[in-house]
């Protein structure tokens, strides 16, 4: 199947061709015709499957096919909500790329940057607005955005938005939108809460799915390296150096841990940068740009970067620490093995994390191969200790001139192989607080 056979406008086909794409991905094949029919969509797809273009291309065409009611001033006609700044920026780039030959205007708004430039763009009028929920409500409170003319609503990575505590903000936004609209709902995982939200939003939706729920991409090779907690950094540096890895995305649980690990890798002679919710938007953008350009070998990130990072042919992802939420593992390793490329995902797992590992394997419905690296056999005398279950990847920068609001909301509830023995499980600590990031 070709993009031409999907019924897209010539301007869109030209933009797609210039990107070097000739054939649509499975989710694009399924979603684009349905969206062009005006159907509501309940979409599920693994990260890296072309989902963003799958809704961007048809919504651009939909806007071109319906005339504006007020030709003198542009109103927001499409609203795309995303959980993180990075994902918002990625969607905004996609809109710009595919809509470059169309007379439509778009902008992206998120926290962590000054609000006044965003206000100026909104006052000039936009057709398509890509936003994080918190900053969007900042604009609503200042009467700088009008959502009463929205024709198409897109909720991208809806599960992540709920996981980050955005349900109240989402409900506030929904109350500002017209009842009659087309809604495109995309989620990589489907919890009961996600299903309830979808039932509330969607009218006779078409289900678009290209993979089993909560599944990891088959193109990603996964392996567990058991290791003592105190030797994780040593093992990570050894793996990077001995394998001569040039580009590695490493995940930690907390912001402090990301900073500390980045500094330690520098001490080991490995160039690295950290990216998390306490970094300014400028610092996050620079760190990602340097990583993509090869100026740093390692990007150390919290789960704020698990979605929205689009890095071409990223070969290696390392879970320095397993995530507290099993679904986040799928999103982390989904940064590699994208668009049909092969990738490798390694997890450095200590005795404390055995329960987290079991949760992940239960989600994946299979065991992940365990490989002990020579010289790093775990000490069987070490006993498991409780893990602080507070997730530190989010966090919107605090109050200040950038206009962002700081809030927190509770979450709801490979080297030579040796045999690996079963380890004791550690208890889960109760109560999980998650700072919101936008």
Residue range 216-226, pLDDT digits in tens = 566 789 999 99
The Cα–Cα gap between 420 and 368 comes to 12
Whether residues 137 and 248 share a domain: the answer is no
The alpha helices in 175-279, defined as continuous H runs, are 192-201, 232-242, 255-267
The Cα–Cα gap between 43 and 51 comes to 9
104 domain residue, yes or no: yes
Tokens (6 digits) for 103: 């007379």
Whether residues 53 and 155 share a domain: the answer is yes
Structural domain including 148 reads 4-209
Last residue of a domain, one of 183, 209, 235: 209
Whether residues 320 and 350 share a domain: the answer is yes
The Cα–Cα gap between 108 and 106 comes to 7
Q: What's the pLDDT score for residue 47? A: 63
Length of the chain in residues, anyone?
438
Sort strands 408-410 and 433-435 into parallel, antiparallel or unpaired. antiparallel
pLDDT under 70: residue ranges of the chain: 46-48, 67-72, 211-218, 305-310, 312, 337-341, 389-438
165 domain residue, yes or no: yes
DSSP conformation class of 88: H
97 domain residue, yes or no: yes
CATH number for the domain spanning 399: value is: 3.40.50.300
Whether residues 50 and 192 share a domain: the answer is yes
Last residue of a domain, one of 148, 181, 209: 209
Last residue of a domain, one of 209, 229, 261: 209
Whether residues 230 and 205 share a domain: the answer is no
13 domain residue, yes or no: yes
Neighbour tally for 217: CB within 10 Å:
22
Number of compact structural domains in the chain? 2
Whether residues 183 and 259 share a domain: the answer is no
The Cα–Cα gap between 144 and 265 comes to 44
Summary mean pLDDT of the chain: 83
Per the CB < 8 A criterion, the answer to whether 82 and 156 are in contact is yes
Neighbour tally for 423: CB within 10 Å:
20
11 domain residue, yes or no: yes
67 domain residue, yes or no: yes
Q: What's the pLDDT score for residue 17? A: 93
214 domain residue, yes or no: no
Per the CB < 8 A criterion, the answer to whether 34 and 215 are in contact is no
Phi, psi of 314 (to 5 degrees): -65, 120
The Cα–Cα gap between 29 and 416 comes to 43
215 domain residue, yes or no: no
Q: What's the pLDDT score for residue 270? A: 95
Collapse the DSSP code of 235 into the 3-class scheme (helix H, G, I; strand E, B; otherwise coil) and give the result: helix
Reported pTM: 0.65
Whether residues 179 and 267 share a domain: the answer is no
Q: What's the pLDDT score for residue 391? A: 46
Per the CB < 8 A criterion, the answer to whether 308 and 320 are in contact is no
Whether residues 184 and 282 share a domain: the answer is no
The Cα–Cα gap between 264 and 258 comes to 10
Whether residues 188 and 292 share a domain: the answer is no
Whether residues 197 and 224 share a domain: the answer is no
Whether residues 182 and 239 share a domain: the answer is no
Distances (CA, A) of 130 to 32, 41, 106: 19, 18, 8
Q: What's the pLDDT score for residue 411? A: 35
Q: What's the pLDDT score for residue 335? A: 78
The Cα–Cα gap between 10 and 6 comes to 11
Whether residues 229 and 197 share a domain: the answer is no
Residue range 26-47, pLDDT digits in tens = 889 999 999 999 999 998 876 6
């Amino acid at each position: 199947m070709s993009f031409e056979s999907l019924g897209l406008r010539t301007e869109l086909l030209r933009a797609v061709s210039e990107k070097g794409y000739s054939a649509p991905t499975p989710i694009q094949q399924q979603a684009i015709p349905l969206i062009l029919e005006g159907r509501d969509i309940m979409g599920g797809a693994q990260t890296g499957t072309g989902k963003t273009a799958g809704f961007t291309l048809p919504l651009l065409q939909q806007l071109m096919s319906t005339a504006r009611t007020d030709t003198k001033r542009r109103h927001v006609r499409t609203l795309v909500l995303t959980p993180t700044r990075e994902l918002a920026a990625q969607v905004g780039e996609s809109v710009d790329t595919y809509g470059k030959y169309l007379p439509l205007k778009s902008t992206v708004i998120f926290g962590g940057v000054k609000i006044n430039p965003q206000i100026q763009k909104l006052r000039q009028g936009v057709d398509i607005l890509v936003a994080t929920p918190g900053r969007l409500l900042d604009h609503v409170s200042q009467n700088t955005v009008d959502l009463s003319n929205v024709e198409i609503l897109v909720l991208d990575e809806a599960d992540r938005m709920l996981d980050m505590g955005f349900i109240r903000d989402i409900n506030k936004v929904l109350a500002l939108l017209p009842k009659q609209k087309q809604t495109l709902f995309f989620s990589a995982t489907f919890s009961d809460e996600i299903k309830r939200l979808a039932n509330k939003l969607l009218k006779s939706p078409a289900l678009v799915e290209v993979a089993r729920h909560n599944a990891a991409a088959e193109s990603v090779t996964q392996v567990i390296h058991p290791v003592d907690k105190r030797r994780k950094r040593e093992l990570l540096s050894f793996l990077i150096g001995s394998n001569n890895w040039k580009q590695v995305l490493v995940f930690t649980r907390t912001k402090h841990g990301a900073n500390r690990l980045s500094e330690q890798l520098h001490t080991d002679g490995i160039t690295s940068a950290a990216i998390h919710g306490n970094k300014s938007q400028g610092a996050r953008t620079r760190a990602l740009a340097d990583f993509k350009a090869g100026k740093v070998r390692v990007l150390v990130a919290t789960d704020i970067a698990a979605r929205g990072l689009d890095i071409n042919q990223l070969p290696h992802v390392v879970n320095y620490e397993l995530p507290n939420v099993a679904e986040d593992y799928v999103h982390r390793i989904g940064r590699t093995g994208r668009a049909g490329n092969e990738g490798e995902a390694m997890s450095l797992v200590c005795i404390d994390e055995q329960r987290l590992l079991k949760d992940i394997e239960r989600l994946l419905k299979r065991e992940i191969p365990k490989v002990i690296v020579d010289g790093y056999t775990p000490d069987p005398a070490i006993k498991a200790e409780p893990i602080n279950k507070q997730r530190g990847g989010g966090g919107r920068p605090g109050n200040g001139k950038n206009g962002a609001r700081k809030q927190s909301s509770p979450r709801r509830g490979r080297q030579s192989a040796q045999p690996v023995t079963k380890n004791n499980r550690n208890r889960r600590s109760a109560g999980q607080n998650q700072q919101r990031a936008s």
